[in-house]
Amino acid sequence: MIRFRLQELIAEKQFREGQRVTLTELSEVTGINRVTLSKMVNHRGYNTVTDNIDRLCKFFNCKVGDLMEYVEEEIETTVNQPKTK
């Protein structure tokens, strides 16, 4: 699964520049809907378009690999057990 590192990038930018960055401000600067940004932060495996990735890379001045990472999912296995009466 792809995990977005948006929160980490926001925190790093805030630390470097000494000012707070909200999702609303990020939305206004990048043109990405605030709801989309929120989903990227809060929903596991959220899918977005490459244009949004491009805009975020420009805003944070980073590479795609800095914005997102691959995290291997654990696959739950269910064992079919015979029903008991």
Dump pLDDT digits (tens) for 10-22.
999 999 999 999 9
Sequence-distant (6+) residues with CB within 8 A of 72 are: 1
**In total, how many domains does the chain have?**
1
Decide if 84 is inside a domain: no
Q: What is the pLDDT of residue 53?
A: 97
Would you say how long the chain is, in residues? 85
The pLDDT of residue 74 is 74
The residue-averaged pLDDT of 21-25 equals 95
81 lies in some domain: no
Structural domain boundaries enclosing 6: 2-62
Decide if 24 contacts 35 (C-beta within 8 A): no
Tokens of 48: 């977005």
List pLDDT tens digits, range 33-85.
999 999 999 998 899 999 999 999 999 999 999 999 999 887 665 555 565 55
6 pLDDT more than 80: yes
Angle between helices 50-60 and 6-17 (to 10 degrees): 20
Q: The domain that contains 8 carries what CATH number?
A: 1.10.260
In a domain? residue 17 = yes
Q: Which helix (H) or strand (E) holds 61?
A: none
